Amino acid sequence: HQPHQSCHLILELQAASPQRQPQRRCRFCEKKPQLRRPKTGHAVCRDCFFWAFEAETHDTIVSSRMFSPGERVAIGASGGKDSTVLAYLLKTLNERHNYGLDLRLLAIDEGIAGYRDDSLDALRRTEVSLGLPLTIFTYRDLYGWTMDEVVRAAGRRSNCTFCGVFRRQALDRGAGHLKADKLATGHNADDVAETVVMNLLRGDAARLSRCADGVTHTGGGLPARCKPLKYAYEKEIVLYAYFKRLDYFATECLYAPAAYRGHARALVKDLERARPAALLHIIQAAEQIRFRTDARMPELDTCRLCGYVSSQPVCKACVLLDGLNSGNPRLAVGKSSACSAKQQQQRMLTDAGRNSAQCCGSAGARRGCSGSACAAAADS
């Protein structure tokens, strides 16, 4: 078949396997080495690789005081390699080190036929094999739109803008529904390094100051987000899943555009090829940047339409939905001037006020619309 991303990584890793430069024994024990760790270059046996990878994840969790005993942790899971390894590791480490966590799987179904439905099948098998309860939220229920419909309405250029904003909010709503204290995501070292580079190139100081943190608090009653795999190399996650024979879905999203994070990703991969430690160094450099604490950060409030945390009167998801529902999806993602963005928000608030005696739509009711009819519907 057409090799997918994981196959490419396995082929690349086999090409760099210990047989090419024979090592007689594993770096840590007497056994024959079976792989060379992409992160450190050490030739190791399979068991010592598992041990090192798990110990490093445990260290990330403990050193950043990620969790407290008794907490409920929602694991943002998609059926892909990162979140499947994350769920397996959290369950293993929770039992091994008595974290005392109540672990749940939380999935978001964006409504992408031929991609997410297949990956959710893999996730359902993980639910059974790990024995962790799974809850699935859908864009269709939360927003009234599937991503397939969004792409049909808005085209292929800005699909990830819609999807990213919707997913972030959907995960928070899902974690809130599960009454989770923390939301753990499968972001790996490659993802974090890419985000650091992107924020640096954009000059986005606010995001740069927190994107490399293991734990981020959004405030507004939302659960803190945690990245237990933030120092785990993507290549090692693939190796771990491969040797542990974990069941995951390995195809890329049908709508993943070539330019998605493309430049930052290419730069980070080039740097890793030249010097594998570069990934870690980018993350560690970002962790050490100190920002003026008196710098003005946007104040958090709640969206007047849906109640979600927002620094604007209307949250980004509501603005995007307004564009979709009014047949102007491109307007909502376009680089509109601050002035016209304000005008759009003002119009939405006025419309909402005019309609507040009626229901704002079924999707609104489910998202906690504050319109009186929706409130009544929610109570009944």
Q: Which residues bind ligand SF4 (CB under 6 A)?
A: 110, 147, 159-160, 163-164, 253, 255-256, 260
Which of 45, 86, 180, 315 lies at the binding interface for Zn ion (CB under 5 A)? 315
Which residue lies nearer to ligand SF4 by CB, 78 or 126?
A: 78
Rounded to whole angstroms, how far apart are CA atoms 197 and 99? 33
- 104 C-beta neighbours (distance < 10 Å), count: 21
Which residue lies nearer to ligand SF4 by CB, 219 or 257?
A: 257
Which of 182, 132, 368, 82 lies closest to 124, judged by CA? 132
Q: Answer yes or no: is 270 a known binding residue.
A: no
Q: Which does 28 bind (CB under 5 to 8 A by kind): Zn ion, ligand SF4, none?
A: none
Per-residue binding string, Zn ion, 155-194, x by CB under 5 A, is ----------------------------------------
Phi, psi of 107 (to 5 degrees): -120, 150
CB 116 → ligand SF4: shortest distance, Å? 7
Q: Answer yes or no: is 191 a known binding residue.
A: yes
Please give the C-alpha separations between residue 47 and each of 34, 54, 87, 98, 336, in angstroms, as whole numbers. 9, 11, 19, 22, 54
- 18 C-beta neighbours (distance < 10 Å), count: 18
Q: Which does 246 bind (CB under 5 to 8 A by kind): Zn ion, ligand SF4, none?
A: none
Crossing angle of helices 159-177 and 147-154, in 10° steps, is: 150
Which residue lies nearer to ligand SF4 by CB, 110 or 172?
A: 110
CB 329 → ligand SF4: shortest distance, Å? 14
Q: Where are the beta strands (DSSP E) in 210-281?
A: 215-216, 224-226
Q: Which does 163 bind (CB under 5 to 8 A by kind): Zn ion, ligand SF4, none?
A: ligand SF4
Which of 165, 208, 318, 348 lies at the binding interface for Zn ion (CB under 5 A)? 318
Rounded to whole angstroms, how far apart are CA atoms 107 and 251? 17
Q: Angle 328-333-334 (CA atoms, 0-180°, nearest 5)? A: 90
Which residue lies nearer to ligand SF4 by CB, 160 or 303?
A: 160
Contact between residue 199 and residue 207 where contact means Cβ atoms under 8 Å apart:
yes
Q: Helix (H, G, I), strand (E, B), or coil: what is residue 106?
A: strand
Does residue 306 touch Zn ion according to CB under 5 A? yes
Site for Zn ion in 194-233 (CB under 5 A): none
Which amino acid does the sequence have at 147? M
Q: Answer yes or no: is 212 a known binding residue.
A: no
Q: Which residues contact 155 (CB under 8 A, 6 or more apart)?
A: 329, 330
Which residue lies nearer to ligand SF4 by CB, 256 or 373?
A: 256
Q: Answer yes or no: is 204 a known binding residue.
A: no
Which of 303, 321, 333, 374 lies at the binding interface for Zn ion (CB under 5 A)? 303
Phi, psi of 141 (to 5 degrees): -70, -40
Which residue lies nearer to ligand SF4 by CB, 95 or 252?
A: 252
Q: Answer yes or no: is 78 a known binding residue.
A: yes
**Residue stretches of the annotated binding site for ATP:** 76-78, 82, 108, 186, 191
- The binding site consists of 76-78, 82, 108, 186, 191
Site residues, Zn ion (CB under 5 A): 303, 305-306, 308, 315, 318
